[in-house]
Amino acid sequence: MPPDGLAAPQARPATARVFFALWPPAAIVEQLADIARSAASQLGGKATRPESIHLTLAFLGEVAESRLPLLARTAASVRAAPFELQIDTLGYWSHNHLLWAGCSAAPSELPGLAAALQQQLAAAGFVVADAGRPFAPHLSLLRKIPVAHPPKILPPIVPLAWSCTGFVLVRSQLSASGPEYKILAEFPLVP
């Protein structure tokens, strides 16, 4: 105890900002990055860097680093079969000025995987942000679109067939140039 009788401030445990996602293969990333760049040149805003394009399954936010091994073990216990996604549509959300790519009809396995993951995470004591909200699968392509240029009509896109065979645990580190993502672990989807 210091002489003034006050307890010394406790060092806060180190934390990691983490989420689970589907990470597209290079060929799909390339095509989505092209769409993002061309949309940015027409609308303004900030295109997602190719290496950051992903579809979030569950966002946890800050988790103690000491709990990351348990987090990975929990994700590894999720049982779900591989599935195919057709990324065939663009969408715009006016509340956050975001252009995204997604599926006009997602197979039930996609929300099924997100729900199974959420359930296991909750059972292990992890808190998933926005767990009560309906799952809105999307890949963010363009952020901060100036309000003067919200897209009125979104162009059709050539459907991209994505064979999803696994999901990943990602650490997000915020930097001046935006978040940088590091894949911490991969989890195969097994039939």
Q: Mention every residue, 6+ apart, whose C-beta is less than 8 A from residue 88.
A: 103, 104, 157, 159, 160
Q: In the annotation, is 149 catalytic? A: no
**Helix (H/G/I), strand (E/B), else coil: 62:** strand
> In angstroms, rounded to a whole number, what is the distance separating the alpha carbons of residues 167 and 113?
10
Q: Out of 130, 155, 188, 190, name the contact with ligand 2AM by CB under 6 A.
A: 130
Restricted to residues 143-182, the positions that interact with ligand 2AM (CB under 6 A) are: 172
CB 70 within 8 A of CB 124: yes
Q: Out of 16, 18, 19, 164, name the contact with ligand 2AM by CB under 6 A.
A: 19
Binding to ligand 2AM by CB under 6 A, coded x per residue (else -) over 70-109, reads ----------------------------------------
**Closest distance of CB 102 from ligand 2AM, Å:** 11
CB 22 within 8 A of CB 55: yes
The residues of the shown chain that bind ligand 2AM, judged by CB under 6 A, are 19, 56, 59, 129-130, 140, 172
